[in-house]
Structure 1
């Protein structure tokens, strides 16, 4: 008699476990897509899109600089406006050069401030997906590294802020996720480069 009563319960338990098993695999797939190996592919896709965007963007700037026109100046002004108010004042001459063709010296000075990223720093920025949110001179999601340099943080402060971000330091930007998995040594190399900007 108990066998007859337990058989339907066993079938129900089997069906429920099968349903939960399917659901949990579905949940595992969703989790993996957002946080596991799927997140790496999304980051790689975002980096490729960003690199393609960068390839398409610089092409007009060298042509404009070669022709002697101040077309490269608005890009420098845009990156300056992404930062603090005093940076925008410091780039006022560049904005004036874009509207005043007589001021030919200012557009050539703006690109000189854009130092290339050293290979070791670039490798670390790619390794830890920093470039998904930050660029050396342009605002993406987070502040540009040049704007971070203007805050004059020490290397230790930058390490602390990467491991435990303080959104109140950067109002107007989305809060950064804590990056506690990034080794201190890697952050110090990046921080020293940021402070050299």
Structure 2
């Protein structure tokens, strides 16, 4: 059973290595660092950094706690701002510059859309979720971050087949995924652009 599952992965790895065709020892060392022996330590470092990043984010509970003192003090302008922020009101955040951090903490969970079943199946089929998550940074950028770049579907297809690491400084370069059918990438790209 395990052999049946690992054989396609081995073939994909072999095809990718042939397509990349490292031309110099420096290229080979870089490739090995990101995808070979150095990948485990890089993944562990990325996970530790992600955990530290999550620990440093303010809790949404603090945002709702800030509304209580304003309402209790009788300051109706601040109480209205806090209530609007709790509901994700962008206008209140614009009028109260001190409340800028609260809308992002309160609005972040509300913006997270579930992944449609057909897209989820394609992300699993092509192992995209090994490096990318819809809203969280893992090894590669989150799909929500990719959506902010406003790539067209054709551009995303091209970037999957022929990645451009210079578009994403600070991230390890993505291996070319030329084996992924264009039709599958277009479905994923349309979903990314809907985020």
Tell me the TM-score normalized by structure 2. Answer: 0.51
* Per-residue Cα deviation, 1:3-23 (whole angstroms, up to 9, x for no partner): xxxxxxxxxxxxxxxxxxxxx
- Provide the residue aligned with 1:162 in structure 2: 160
CA distance in structure 1 between the aligned counterparts of 2:145 and 2:166, rounded to whole angstroms: 15
Q: Which runs of 5+ in 1 are unaligned?
A: 1-31, 40-45, 47-52, 58-63, 72-91, 98-104
* Per-residue Cα deviation, 1:107-137 (whole angstroms, up to 9, x for no partner): 4322111111111101100000000000011
> Is the CA contact (8 Å cut-off) linking 1:94 and 1:106 kept in structure 2?
no
Cα deviation, residue 184, structure 1: 0.4
Kindly report the root-mean-square deviation, in angstroms, between the aligned alpha carbons of the 2 structures.
3.6
Query: Over alpha carbons, which structure has the higher Rg?
Result: 1
CA distance in structure 1 between the aligned counterparts of 2:99 and 2:11, rounded to whole angstroms: 45
- The 5 A counterparts of 1:97-112 are 97=102, 107-112=105-110
Cα separation, partners in 2 of 1:151 and 1:106, compared to 1, 3 Å = closer
CA distance in structure 1 between the aligned counterparts of 2:132 and 2:104, rounded to whole angstroms: 26
- The 5 A counterparts of 1:2-151 are 35-36=10-11, 68-70=61-63, 96-97=101-102, 107-151=105-149
Cα separation, partners in 2 of 1:138 and 1:187, compared to 1, 3 Å = same
- Provide the residue aligned with 2:181 in structure 1: 183
Cα separation, partners in 2 of 1:93 and 1:191, compared to 1, 3 Å = farther
* Per-residue Cα deviation, 1:177-197 (whole angstroms, up to 9, x for no partner): 000010000000000000001
- Provide the residue aligned with 1:196 in structure 2: 194
- Provide the residue aligned with 2:36 in structure 1: none
- Provide the residue aligned with 2:72 in structure 1: none
Tell me the TM-score normalized by structure 1. Answer: 0.50
Query: How many aligned residue pairs are there?
Result: 117
